[in-house]
Amino acid sequence: MSEQPALADTAARQQLEPAAADGLRAYAARTRESADQLAAVLEDIAANGLPAVEDCTPWEELRETHLARLTAQRPAVA
């Protein structure tokens, strides 16, 4: 995607509240950071090949860690 805003009649665009605009900018920054991290990993693999199996974490372990993180963020409903 382009970093340029879409061409449109600016008078027809609805402005966001300052807090909403700040939140959207923060989300964009986090998304950009995640994409940069992924790109760095892919570039490393392209330059150096895949890591040794012994140096990798099994996907099941990654899944369980992620599920535990999600559970901690969202308490259970009684």
pLDDT tens by residue, 50-76: 999 999 999 999 999 999 999 998 876
pLDDT in tens, 3-17: 666 666 667 899 999
Longest CA span, the chain = 58
Neighbours of 24 (CB within 10 A): 11
pLDDT in tens, 20-50: 999 999 999 999 999 999 999 999 999 999 9
